[in-house]
């Protein structure tokens, strides 16, 4: 088992290894006294892993119940959120109990936000079952739901008390989900680790999943610790996400999150190069994305993408902080004035 300590204001550990789901109860008992635990999962992950999770919790003295939400980003909604909250009230969950997120980033973001708000905040545990969730979403404490007006529009910062990543669960992931994870890892490579970027860009790295999860959690940690509320260096993690979130939204979620991020990274780097902010050629990222089966462009009108970006909660009065990759492994923030957003998008979408 590999362990990464995340020393945020409330420190917690990420534990990574094959077969760890069987140890969920025992691992949880090390950080929380036995209580009632509600496992939130989705309709795809539930049939695969819920039984094992519940049995492990019960075996360690937790009384375990479950809530199964429909799978898919379109269900990271206010309706699901309210339904879970009402379920928690009906089951009389108290503030000394906890939630367990068993699934990908959708379940993680949803469960985290439920935990952040149920009775003004109860503890929760992340059990990521997608690579994307393991290398990114499960760490850092950002939780959110989507509204018809925009993605991740309503959320909270709420750190988990434990992240338990059983890499054996990746065995059932379809190719698309491996590709999604690759996109966020490529992002981390551009931001902080050129060597890892090269490994990913060469393809065939799946057997190194455990090591890669550890490496990526460490990279994410380096941006999150010291900036939990996303006011400084953490904003660099938005690389690829300014344009990415917008095209993900405009595609009506026919693009997955990882696919959108790949498109976003290429567009944002292209713009930065055209603006003379970097010498890094976006072709390098494009080839890395292609080697992992990721799309590299999307037919959206620049004005629609710009409008979606301008609705994004990450803008401030002064503009939008965008990430400029200087070379593989080094980046900086650039403040883009709001009136330049349209031009920024046009430059990025046009080869
Ligand atoms: N909070 C953060 O910091 C953060 C960071 C990155 C992404 N996110 C969010 O994460 C979400 C994307 O996460 P995701 O890609 O994990 O999506 P997801 O949770 O929708 O999972 C993708 C699909 O894979 C299925 N699945 C999950 N585990 C499986 C397994 N082991 N075997 C077979 N199928 C499995 C799910 O049911 C789902 O259908 C987005 O909503 C994004 O905004 C959040
Ligand atoms: Zn992302």
Q: Report the residue among 20, 77, 137 best suited for mutation to probe ligand 1: largest number of ligand atoms under 8 A from its CB.
A: 137
| CB atoms inside a 10 Å sphere around CB 169 | 24
Beta carbon of 126 within 6 Å of any ligand 1 atom: no
The SS3 of residue 226 is coil
Beta carbon of 140 within 6 Å of any ligand 1 atom: yes
142: alpha, beta or left? (left if phi > 0; alpha if psi -120 to 50): beta
C-alpha 35 to ligand 2 mean position (Å): 33
C-alpha 236 to ligand 2 mean position (Å): 12
Beta carbon of 44 within 6 Å of any ligand 1 atom: yes
C-alpha 90 to ligand 2 mean position (Å): 34
Task: Report all structural domains of the chain as residue ranges with CATH numbers, in order of start.
Answer: 2-172 (3.40.50.1970), 179-349 (1.20.1090.10)
Cβ burial of 183 (10 Å; 0-12, 13-18, 19+) is buried
Identify the pLDDT of residue 313: 65
Nearest atom of ligand 1 to the alpha carbon of 42: 37
Identify the pLDDT of residue 311: 85
Identify the pLDDT of residue 39: 98
Ligand nearest to the CA of 260: 2
Sign of CA dihedral 234, 239, 242, 248: negative
Profile the chain (351 residues) by mean pLDDT over runs of 10 residues.
Answer: 94 97 98 97 98 98 98 96 98 97 98 98 98 96 93 94 98 97 98 97 94 98 85 90 94 94 97 95 97 95 93 76 94 92 91 81
Dihedral, 231, 233, 234, 237 alpha carbons, nearest 10: 130
Identify the pLDDT of residue 227: 78
Beta carbon of 169 within 6 Å of any ligand 1 atom: yes
- pTM value? 0.95
C-alpha 105 to ligand 2 mean position (Å): 9
Chain centre to alpha carbon of residue 130: 10
């Amino acid at each position: 088992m590999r362990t990464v300590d995340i020393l945020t204001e409330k420190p917690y550990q990420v534990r990574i290894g094959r077969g760890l789901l069987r140890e969920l109860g025992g691992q949880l008992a090390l950080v929380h006294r036995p209580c009632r635990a509600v496992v939130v999962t989705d309709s795809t992950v539930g049939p695969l892993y819920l039984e094992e999770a519940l049995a492990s919790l019960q075996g360690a003295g937790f009384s375990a119940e479950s809530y199964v939400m429909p799978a898919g980003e379109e269900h990271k909604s206010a309706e699901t959120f309210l339904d879970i909250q009402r379920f928690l009230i009906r089951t009389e969950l108290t503030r000394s109990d906890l939630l367990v997120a068993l699934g990908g980033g959708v379940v993680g973001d949803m469960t985290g936000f439920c935990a952040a708000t149920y009775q003004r905040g109860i503890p929760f545990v992340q059990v990521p079952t997608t690579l994307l969730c393991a290398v990114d979403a499960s760490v850092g404490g950002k939780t959110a739901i989507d509204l018809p007006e925009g993605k991740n529009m309503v959320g909270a910062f709420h750190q988990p008390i434990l992240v338990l990543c059983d890499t054996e669960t990746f065995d059932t992931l379809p190719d698309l989900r491996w590709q999604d994870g690759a996109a966020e890892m490529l992002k981390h490579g551009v931001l902080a680790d050129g060597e890892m970027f090269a490994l990913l860009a060469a393809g065939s790295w799946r057997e190194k999943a455990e090591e890669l999860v550890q490496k990526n959690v460490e990279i994410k940690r380096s941006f999150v610790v010291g900036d939990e509320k996303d006011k400084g260096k953490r904003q660099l993690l938005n690389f690829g996400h300014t344009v990415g979130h917008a095209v993900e939204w405009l595609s009506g979620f026919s693009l997955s999150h990882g696919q959108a991020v790949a498109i976003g990274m290429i567009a944002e780097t292209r713009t930065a190069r055209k603006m003379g902010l970097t010498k890094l050629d976006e072709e390098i990222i494009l080839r890395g994305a292609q080697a992992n089966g990721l799309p590299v462009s999307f037919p959206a009108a620049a004005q629609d993408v710009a409008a979606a970006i301008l609705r994004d909660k990450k803008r401030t009065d002064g503009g939008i902080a965008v990430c400029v990759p200087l070379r593989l492994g080094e980046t900086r923030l650039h403040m883009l004035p709001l009136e330049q957003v349209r031009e920024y998008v046009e430059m990025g979408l046009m080869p």
